[in-house]
A and B are shown apart, each in its own frame.
Chain A
Amino acid sequence: MNKEISYEQAINRLEAIAQQLERGEMPIDEMAERLREAQTLLRQCRQQLYKADEAVQHILQGDES
């Protein structure tokens, strides 16, 4: 992940994309790009939700020692 955006920002962005799609406000030309963005964001969010965050682990361990 190059873009370091927070989970909250990511999920808000996803909501916006979903709503735009649902309201049929998304130009067809943009759809592929938005879909790619949504997939990246979903992956990022799921990672934050399920995967061990090495950076966090590192900080916590460093803090303990």
Chain B
Amino acid sequence: MSPLSLYELNSLVREVLELELPDTYWVQGELSEGRQGYGGHFYGELVQKDERNVAIVAKARVNCWANVYVGLSQRFREATGETLRAGMQVLMEVSVTFHQQYGYSLNILDIDPTFTLGDMARRRQQILRQLEADGILHDNQTLPMPLLTRRIAIVSSQSAAGYGDFCDQLENNDYGFHFHLQLFPAVMQGNRVEESIIAALGQIAEQADLWDVVVIIRGGGATSDLSDFDSYPLAACIAQMPLPVVTGIGHERDETVLDYVAHTHLKTPTAVASFLIDHMGEQAVRLDDLSQRIGHSVTGTIAREQQRLIRLATVLPLAFRNMRQQQEHRLERLLQRMKAAHSERQQGEQHRLERLLHRLTTAYNEHQQRERHRLDLMEQRLQSLDPKLLLQRGYSMTFGPDGRLLRDATHVAPGQHITTRLENGEVESVVNLCQELEN
């Protein structure tokens, strides 16, 4: 048997394969490479890893012709928001081909986006569970959003879609707020997303007191690759930022892990700018409201007080007059009572005086009568004692030399002069003899 040329051998292999595997097959695996080449064809590599997801246990080249790829990639993008690329788990319908020159490859005929979606969701869930287990999932969400969000640290790329619009929107806001913006540049697409955003966030965290809020923004819509953001280290970093983080990474359909950990997540950079402006707008409204409330209260109070003063000005004199009248009446009544009491008392006193006078008069008269009577009696007695009567009856009175009435013969001595008073006249005598009479 003469040896075969390589081409003949490969042709044999091709024949056998095409004969033995004529159908199409649904195969699942991970795209380890994928790119669109010249002419719009897609070339990639599908691998299967071992249970620990480390070593490759199977590998095959895959390709998709441009005419198929146009429709297929569009449907895939619409369903997943992603383009086919390395690192994705995919479920594809393939036909097995063998080319004499290029060897074994799988020709992609169709792809099931729901499989990839499911895988992405699973990865996201896994990261979220881990964040939850670490107790940091809601850390950033529990930070209070400062009342003023005017110092804004932006994590984005100068060239990222939406960055310029974001800045314009903030700088030309209708209220005239003045925002302080600074870009902390980061790669927003591709496999350096994780490390580059983490580095930017680290830089911001070091000067956290200079900023009110962090925004992570990127425009791009449905063509962006969101799975770059589904990273545990990145999510953990955002969760633990000391400042509230607002995301707007330009995707309409789905959320990334970042959105679950960020303080506030919005769809687009424009939405983030509006959010920040509105947040400040609330403060402007609040200030206007406070100013109005204070103004109204003050004018209200002043008006009330004025009314009160006016009322008092009318009421007070009236009240005063009333009070004066009342007092006057009271005084009048008091005076009346006093007068009444006085005249009553006076009458009483008068009666008493009259009674006293009467008693006195009576007593006096009685006394007078009594005295007169006594005097009469005394007069009678005196009259009866008057020596003149005795003298008239013939008796006489003799006075000694000393002029005193002589009652005892021994009180006079012979030779002494004595005077004898008679009814009519006196007799001067000289004593001859003094003799006591014996009874």
| Interface residue ranges, A against B (CB under 8 Å) | 7-8, 11, 14-15, 17-18, 21-22, 24, 26, 28, 31, 35, 38, 42, 45-46, 48-53, 56-57, 59-60, 63-64
Contact = CB atoms under 8 A, between A and B. Distances in A.
B165 interface: no
Which 7 residue pairs are nearest across A and B when measured between Cβ atoms? A21-B297, A52-B178, A18-B293, A14-B290, A7-B148, A38-B294, A18-B294
Contacts of A38: 290-291, 294
B276 interface: no
B148 A35 contact: no
A35 B290 CA distance: 12
Nearest to A15: B290
Contact of A22 (B150, B207, B291, B293): B293
A64 B182 CA distance: 9
B7 interface: no
A60 B293 CA distance: 37
Interface string B276-313: 00001001101100110110011001000100000000
Interface residues of B, number: 26
A50 B176 contact: yes
B220 to A, nearest CB: 27
B364 interface: no
Interface of B: 146-148, 150-151, 175-178, 180, 182, 207, 210, 280, 283-284, 286-287, 290-291, 293-294, 297-298, 301, 305
A31 B287 CA distance: 19
A60 B294 contact: no
A26 B301 contact: yes
Nearest to B179: A52
B290 A42 contact: yes
Contacts of A56: 150-151, 180, 210
Nearest to A48: B148
A42 B178 contact: no
Of listed A8, A18, A49, A63, residue having the most chain B CB within 10 A: A49
Contacts of A17: 294
B294 A21 contact: yes
A7 B150 CA distance: 12
A50 B178 contact: yes
Contacts of B182: 60, 63-64
B291 A42 contact: yes
Contacts of A26: 301
Contact of B305 (A8, A28, A51, A60): A28
11 contacts: A11-B286, A11-B290, A15-B290, A28-B301, A45-B283, A45-B287, A46-B287, A49-B150, A49-B280, A56-B151, A63-B182
Contacts of A46: 287
Nearest to B148: A7
B294 A50 contact: no
Nearest to A51: B178
A63 B146 CA distance: 22
Nearest to A41: B290
